[in-house]
Amino acid sequence: MVLLTLSASIDSLRPPQCIKKPCIPASNGQTSFLYCALALIALGTGGIKPCVSTFGADQFDESDPTEAQKKYAFFNWFFFAINMGALLGITILVYIQVEFGWVWGFGVPTALMIVSAFILAAGFFKYRYQKPMGSAFTRFIQVVVVALRNHVKGVEVGRGGELYEVRTRESDIVGARKLPHTNQYRFLDKAAVITNPESNNPKNRWRLCTVTQVEEFKSFVRILPIWASTIALAISFSQLSTFFIAQAATTRRHLGGSFEIPAGSTPVFSAVNALLLIPLYEKLAVPFLRSRTGHPRGITSLQRMGIGLFVSILAMLSAALVEKKRRDSFHSSSDDDDRRRRLSVFWLFPQFFLMGAAEVFTYVGQLEFFYDEATDGTRSISSAMFLSEIGIGSWLSTAIVKVVERASGGGEGKGWLRDDLNVSRLDCFYWILTGINGVNFLVYLVVARRFKGRSGGGGGGSVADENAAVELAAPGNVVGDDEEFRSVAI
């Protein structure tokens, strides 16, 4: 952020203002400086986003029922804070940039980032910390390599073989609790089979893995179908910053006399909805649902994600219907200026509102789900998986746009998606997304129904269930760290 601010404020770091064409392009050095700043922002964002929700949730003691309940409220308020930041970014910061220039537009968030770093540091001695557990990806690769090697050797699970585990209360993954053996994905159990008690080196994880290490990888593999079956929402969500804004630019956006809502600020409808919905859900819906279902969160994470995916279908349906009305309004008028601004921007409110609701239900549900189903050593990775959906959804949205352009004759200026929305068929594109969301919702229902979580249930199990499983995994008698025991495979 500091480099961006310098790029906007120092004349030698940016091209001169374009007064008359042709404009003087940016030099290679100026472009490199800007790209360096953007790359650092991407790097910093990648470090912050997967860890901040996990680190926040780690502040609550799962063994304390009161704190465990507050942990799930934290996910709601965490998402509330994100939307508050988005609201301020697309309103106040946009206004500052337009009125005072890019120096202030970058300088204000830079100052806020510096202040936030001090606020984070202020709690340094009060936070609860999890011990660093090393690279989970390395442990995953070790499980795959050992399982494949033993499979080639003809090793079978449960035929005289034994599964290896260290004889200590905690696993040999520093700071991680032991995990009980499960029968799912039994092929991976081959990585923990003791093929030759004399030659197996219990210290070499490239030759022999522990049950906990195998189960850690199983937990990661187990959530992949749920992750894949929620990507369609990210495709629809990417429309908030693309075609939804393009629609808004063709509508009447005046409020009162002279004030006109910037088209780029229309996603504020979605952010405001989230700010209203989260407190209502947390303070009203959760207590009501909890009294009916007995679940500490009212409904499970999988149910919450399902509601969000269904609402996204309604959002795309609304977008398609409103776009058809907007386009028909344009062609029904003879006056050019009136045609451009006949439909009010508030006709777009339902699709923004519904997309915001879908985001609240699904994304907060995903935060809860991936945190619950992750093991001690994979929670940041699970959060990163959830966040990667947004990038993948944006890429898939671009791919779908390209496919639709080509399939509808876009190369000849006759396609559904053109530069001028008034001669496009954006409503047809929205119908395609509605269909994609509908099919995705059905797939999600099948995947969610078949899902078995770490506690053996359908996901979103209670903390008590998880703690009980951990206790079952721990050996009764603790001996030296270097000793090991053999658990007969079921």
* Domain co-membership, 268 together with 409: yes
Of 85, 111, 129, the residue that ends a domain is: 129
pLDDT of residue 314: 95
Whole-structure pTM value: 0.76
Question: What pLDDT digit, counting tens, does each position of 15-25 carry?
Answer: 888 777 788 88
Structure tokens of 471?
């206790």
Helix (H) or strand (E) holding 236: helix 231-237
* Domain co-membership, 236 together with 171: no
Residue matched to tokens 């007995």: 294
Q: Flag whether pLDDT at 490 surpasses 80.
A: no
Structure tokens of 241?
């910053």
Task: Tell which wins on pLDDT, 256 or 348.
Answer: 348
* Domain co-membership, 87 together with 8: yes
- Residue 171, helix vs strand vs coil: coil
Question: Which candidate, 204, 236, 266, 457, places its Cα nearest to that of 357?
Answer: 236
User: How far is Cα 149 from Cα 155, in angstroms, rounded to an integer?
Assistant: 9
Range of the domain at 166: 136-220+468-488
Of 66, 96, 129, the residue that ends a domain is: 129
* Domain co-membership, 474 together with 377: no
* Domain co-membership, 119 together with 98: yes
pLDDT of residue 426: 87
* Domain co-membership, 264 together with 304: yes
Question: What pLDDT digit, counting tens, does each position of 75-128 carry?
Answer: 888 888 888 888 888 788 888 887 888 899 999 999 999 999 999 999 999 998
Termini Cα distance of the chain: 55
Q: Where are the alpha helices (DSSP H) in 374-424?
A: 379-407
Structure tokens of 345?
């921007």
pLDDT of residue 197: 66
User: How far is Cα 58 from Cα 430, in angstroms, rounded to an integer?
Assistant: 40
Question: What pLDDT digit, counting tens, does each position of 319-329 carry?
Answer: 999 998 888 87
* Domain co-membership, 306 together with 159: no
Residue 465 banded pLDDT, cuts 50, 70, 90: very low
When pLDDT is averaged across residues 181-196 and rounded to a whole number, the result is 87
pLDDT of residue 336: 53
Question: In this predicted structure, which of 242-246, 295-299, 397-401 has the lowest mean pLDDT?
Answer: 295-299
Task: Tell which wins on pLDDT, 96 or 462.
Answer: 96
Question: What pLDDT digit, counting tens, does each position of 28-83 carry?
Answer: 899 999 999 999 998 998 888 878 888 888 888 877 878 877 877 888 888 888 88
What count of other Cβ atoms lies within 10 Å of the Cβ of residue 12? 8
Question: In this predicted structure, which of 163-177, 202-216, 315-329 has the lowest mean pLDDT?
Answer: 163-177
pLDDT of residue 464: 38
Total domains present in the chain: 3
User: How far is Cα 241 from Cα 265, in angstroms, rounded to an integer?
Assistant: 10
What count of other Cβ atoms lies within 10 Å of the Cβ of residue 257? 5
- Give yes or no for a contact between 273 and 323, defined as CB atoms under 8 angstroms apart: no
* Domain co-membership, 370 together with 415: yes
Question: What pLDDT digit, counting tens, does each position of 355-374 carry?
Answer: 988 988 888 888 888 888 88
* CATH code of 360's domain: 1.20.1250.20
* Domain co-membership, 276 together with 411: yes
- Give yes or no for a contact between 378 and 332, defined as CB atoms under 8 angstroms apart: no
User: For residue 164, what are the β-bridge partners?
Assistant: 486
Distances (CA, A) of 392 to 235, 236, 361, 388, 441: 8, 12, 20, 6, 18
pLDDT of residue 36: 94
pLDDT of residue 33: 93
* Domain co-membership, 303 together with 387: yes
* Domain co-membership, 365 together with 392: yes
Question: What pLDDT digit, counting tens, does each position of 391-427 carry?
Answer: 898 889 999 988 988 888 765 567 788 777 777 888 8
* Domain co-membership, 114 together with 140: no
